[in-house]
Structure 1
Amino acid sequence: MSAHDQLLVVIDPVARRIDGESVRIAKDVLCGGSEAKICLPESPEEFARALARRGSRRPVVVGDDRALLRAVSLLHRDRWLGDGALAVVPVGPSVHLAHSLGVPTGAVGAARTVLDGAVRRLDLLVDESDGVVLGGLTIPALGPAPRPGSPVLRAARSLVRTLTRPAPPPAAPRPQRLRVEADGVLLADLDQPVEAVSVQAGAAGRARVVVRRPAVSEPVRAEALTVTVSGPDFRYRADAHVTGPVRTRTWTLRPGAWGLTLPPV
């Protein structure tokens, strides 16, 4: 049996708890078509140890987007992604990222892709702290400004408003003051309010950057290898995770940095 047929199947505990039937189906398909070693970690630490002991086996993650991100992060820090390829069977509460990358829906189709698919090299966004982004990230506007006054006074005013008239519409999000640079080119500075920033691991070896400003219909767009955002404390959502607050962050696109097993073209 070839090394390609030897799998390390790491089944995330959330997937086992949320959808045990899909996990069982995936195991049956994978074990029926390969020499599969099944690992059932109960914690992130056990998950990491299982991947670290993969040997020559191909790692397969059965789990949701968070499990996929955890696996890619661990294998990136292990400097393995450049040579190897990961496979995933999406099971769990959130699997939008895996499907957006091209992994089939359904346990049977995804498991068969693990056995019969082809490796496609995908771009990866990496920040200066070795964090990874598989799809994209967004920096949204701030939430509504807090109203002054004690909690008791605010609760009393809210009750009076509720009894006397319909509740007012929610306050609009507030723009931020951010400096955004793409390959050294300034897209926004601190004196220009920013409504949202998005960075997507795009095609042709470049990240797509979009900066939206209040009351401006056409956003600023750019393609770059390196994107730096700085300014007052800000949070950002990268794939399935919210990170921050931070004051500066630089993301560098690494073209074809990781391999994912997908249906053959």
Structure 2
Amino acid sequence: MARRTDGESVRIAKDVLSAGAATKVCLPEGPDEFARMLARRGSRRPVVIGDDRALMRAVSLLHRQRELAECVLSVVPVGGALSLAGSLGVPTGAVAAARAVLDGVERRLDLLVDDSDGVVLGALRIPPLSGAPDHAGVPTPGRPWLRTCQSLVRTLVPPRPVSAPGGPAPSRLRVEVDGVTLVDLDQPVEGVSVMPGDSGEAEVEVRPVSVGAEASALMARGRTVTVSGAHFRYRADAVVSGPVRRRTWTVWEGALGLTLPSRS
């Protein structure tokens, strides 16, 4: 993919790497071939030339193979989506990143791992609900019988405020950090964010819905974060998952070894 989006940057990165070290260049044509090449790396240090998706794919594969602790990964960001690599400290220019591969140092970074073995490198976010469901008053094209039932229900039950069609609606979630409830189902929230820290703990922020004066964010730190409640979706790095009713994330301290520029 990187060759198709920015072939010149890929060529520059290969030239810089080849000039400074013995390299074996692999050009996988798809995810399956990418996985096979990574599994056959032997004692060689893998260098991923690609965007954030390629980085996440490599980390996820190594984690599922339980080989992440023994592997030091290097990255040369190339492509359109590079914000994750940049947030981890990787230079986003091809030349600077390739030089960091050659001259940089290994740093161990914390990861979040969920109870389905999913990995989060950067940020986890749970946004508000995307909109009200059909039965909350949104028109339902092509279902006249359902619209009739909805009209009957509305005549029997007093209406309640709902979000505008397609607009975000508050979520009702229970958020627990190390077993202690930070927010419960009776307090609607606008969003939840969780990020790996740098000391074996995650940083958790919950934004309650404002009523009148602006509500202050609820902050906490801990090794495990459990979110439960109504079906919710979450965005881990650049991937949207769900809906789920419950998910627990645990900090794996120092799980990812990444080559980064040495601090001067």
Query: TM-score if structure 1 supplies the norm length?
Result: 0.86
**Matched residue, 1:55:** 42
SS at match of 1:195: strand
Match of 2:184 in 1: 189
Q: Could you tell me how far 1:145 is from its partner in structure 2?
A: 2.0
Q: What amino acid maps onto 1:81 in structure 2?
A: L
More strand by share: 1
Match of 2:175 in 1: 180
- 3-state DSSP class of the match of 2:24? strand
CA contact 2:132–2:138 (8 Å) conserved in 1: no
Among 58, 63, 69, the alignment partner of 1:82 is 69
Deviations 1:59-103 (A, max 9, x none): 110000010000000111122221221000000110000011000
**What code does the residue aligned with 2:139 have?**
G
Residue 104 of structure 2 contacts residue 262 of structure 2 at CA under 8 Å; is this kept in 1? yes
Structure 1, unaligned runs of 5 or more: 1-13, 154-168
- Aligned partner of residue 244 in structure 2, secondary structure: strand
Identity within the alignment, %: 66
- TM-score, L = length of structure 2: 0.86
Mapped partners of 1:138, 1:151: distance in 2: 32
* 1:35 correspondence with 2:22: yes
Deviation at 1:203, TM superposition (A): 2.3
Q: Whole-Å Cα distance in 2 between the matches of residues 177 and 230 of structure 1?
A: 9
Residue correspondence of structure 1 range 167-246 to structure 2 within 5 A? 172-215=167-210, 216-246=214-244
How many residue pairs get aligned? The number is: 237
Distance (Å, rounded) in 1 between the aligned partners of 2:94 and 2:71: 23
> How much does 1:172 deviate?
4.6
Partner Cα distance (2:132, 2:227) in 1: 22
Tell whether the 8 Å contact from 2:132 to 2:165 is kept in structure 1 after alignment.
Answer: no
Q: Which residues of 2 match residues 1-265 of structure 1 at below 5 A?
A: 14-145=1-132, 147-151=137-141, 172-215=167-210, 216-265=214-263
CA deviations over 1:222-242 (Å, ceiling 9, x no partner): 000000001111100010111
SS at 2:169 equivalent: coil
Partner Cα separation in structure 2 for residue 57 and residue 144 of structure 1: 49
TM-superposed CA distance for 1:171, in Å, is 6.5
Q: Residues 74 and 171 of structure 1: is their aligned pair in 2 closer, same or farther, counting only changes over 3 Å?
A: closer
- What root-mean-square deviation, in Å, do the aligned CA atoms of Structure 1 and Structure 2 show? 1.6
Partners of 2:13 and 2:190 in 1: how far apart? 43
CA distance in 1, matches of 2:209, 2:219: 15
Q: Unpaired segments of 5 or more residues in structure 2?
A: 144-163
Q: 1:183 to 1:152 in 2, by over 3 A?
A: same
Counterpart of 1:67 in 2: which secondary structure? Answer: helix
1:218 aligned partner, one-letter code = S
- Deviation, structure 1 residue 27: 0.6
